[in-house]
Structure 1
Amino acid sequence: MALDPKRAFDALPATLAADLLDTFQQVVKNFAEHRWEPSELNGGKLCEAAYTILKGYFAGIYDARAHKPANMVDACKKLESESGPRSARIQIPRMIVALYEIRNNRGVGHAGGDVDPNHMDATAVVYMSKWIVAELVRLLHGLTTDEATELVDALVEREVALVWRSGDKRRVLATGLTLRKRTLLLLSGVTEAPEADLLSWLEQRRPSDYRAKVLRPMHKERLIEYDQDAGTVALLPPGVDAAEALIRELDTRR
């Protein structure tokens, strides 16, 4: 990845870039904490920032802060008449409209079924948000889709300097950490991880020991949700807090 994630939106005013990235980070954080409703609500703020960026892209000058148009659907529709890449004129604006619709009109009317509708909506929001941010990065820097997606993954993983990633592989770069702490770091950048991936990332050759000494105790302490039947592991809110504290602690050492 040639572009430093921290410079992904250097072409924008710092305040406008912050409006987009702060909202995006909050969407991802809320989703990871299973806070489905806040994740939906924050999607609307991301739409407003993304629209403001597109408007500035075509105008040749960017507003300092994100703003809400009088009518999001009509404003995005107008972008179709601009001259420029199809992604900027049609694809991103239409995704913004779809995301904005979920934010505004999916808070009521859910009934029945075995699947939590808030979870379904929040899942749509987090991945639509990631797509929009990746497309904006690609638009501003002329990257390929894969390059832009990799960069956005790095933006999501705030511990990027502590965790190396290449394809499906991940390694904790900080040395001298316990298995528990390394597990927290690896889980902090994902919504959920297969147990098999954790074992691979941590190079654990005795899965039973790792389960007994790390996963089950952390599950009991409500730091993680360890679903042994499904073979998946995810941070719970106390685990997110513990991971954040660990990242801050390690950042102060560098």
Structure 2
Amino acid sequence: MMALIEKKKLLEKISPPLDPLLCSQLLDEFISAEKRFIQRDWEPAELDGGQFCEILARLLYHQDSGTLSQSKGFDECCKYLESDQVKHSIHPRHDAIHLVRVLRTVYKFRSQRGAVHISPTYSPNHMDSKLVIECVRWAMNETLRIFWQGDRDVVAKAIRELLQFDVPCVGVFSDALLVQRTDLSSEEEILVLLHFAGEEGFSRTELGKAARRAPSTVTNALQKLTASNSRQVFQLGNGRYRLTDLGSKRVREHLSSKLLLG
């Protein structure tokens, strides 16, 4: 069974040319920022965004200058990338300039915002974190676009799957999947599994094995989710099932807390 694109696979495609240690740190920060945002942990999401910016600035500096530094300051890296007085290796130059502008915005923004609440349930931290995470996603995807080594269709798929988020409640044990929550309805479990499956989707047999429910229960859940009044799951021409945009919306808006282990 295939799941959403994994860190190891991403590293293999962008390192080289990117430094493996910095690249691994970048992906760790990206994944951490995504997880914290899903969990509505607003302030740490902003902090992770700043650390992501620092690491990506060092990666870009290395690619542009040829000099590797694990500790060079964020502003120093950005100034080199912006300078018209030095030789640059990233071409076209506007690729690096666009990235630096976004990184500077995130880095400065998250360090200057206060925690003044506008209501008991909605705060600037929520809104700020949403801005930060969208900028981080864009920067991560742009980095893949520029430095990916291999098939462009594959990088396009990787970028689309990075826009989805991790599914901690789905465990992989050897070749078997297990939803490690016991409070999901059959429909919810199918949605969680198909979110985990990404664009490839799952066959009816794979869903049956992973859901560990009676065959009739899985069939009934799929019928409801694919029905014309739901349309949250779609059956592809090859017989596999995958989430529709409506299905993904339901997962994001109503099941995000249930993707966690609990």
TM-score for both structures, normalised by structure 2: 0.59
Secondary structure at the aligned position of 2:254 is classed as strand
TM alignment of 1:12-51, pairs within 5 A: 12-51=18-57
2-side partners of 1:179 and 1:136: how far apart? Answer: 39
Matched AA of 1:100 = Y
Partner of 2:15: 10
Secondary structure at the aligned position of 1:23 is classed as helix
Matched AA of 1:18 = S
Task: Calculate the aligned-residue CA RMSD, in Å.
Answer: 4.0
TM-superposed deviation, 1:103: 2.0
2-side partners of 1:99 and 1:145: how far apart? Answer: 28
Contact 2:30 2:52 in 1 (8 A): yes
| 1:235 is the counterpart of 2:240 | no
Distance 1:145 1:133, change over 3 A: farther
| 1:124 is the counterpart of 2:131 | yes
Deviations 1:16-37 (A, max 9, x none): 1111010000000001111111
Contact 2:11 2:20 in 1 (8 A): no
Partner of 2:109: 102
Structure 1 residue runs of 5 or longer lacking an equivalent are: 181-194, 205-225, 243-254
Deviations 1:66-85 (A, max 9, x none): x351x62x642441225332
2-side partners of 1:41 and 1:18: how far apart? Answer: 18
Partner of 1:213: none
Deviations 1:146-172 (A, max 9, x none): 864531444565569974433xx7447
Partner of 2:81: 79
Out of 90, 99, 123, the position equivalent to 1:92 is 99
Contact 2:42 2:129 in 1 (8 A): yes
Contact 2:34 2:133 in 1 (8 A): yes
Distance 1:17 1:142, change over 3 A: closer
2-side partners of 1:146 and 1:5: how far apart? Answer: 14
1-side partners of 2:62 and 2:198: how far apart? Answer: 33
Structure 2 residue runs of 5 or longer lacking an equivalent are: 178-195, 214-228, 243-249
TM-score for both structures, normalised by structure 1: 0.61
Matched AA of 1:79 = L
Partner of 1:178: 211
Matched AA of 1:7 = E
Comparing 48-57 and 78-87, the one that deviates more: 78-87
2-side partners of 1:136 and 1:57: how far apart? Answer: 11
Comparing 37-46 and 76-85, the one that deviates more: 76-85
TM-superposed deviation, 1:178: 2.1
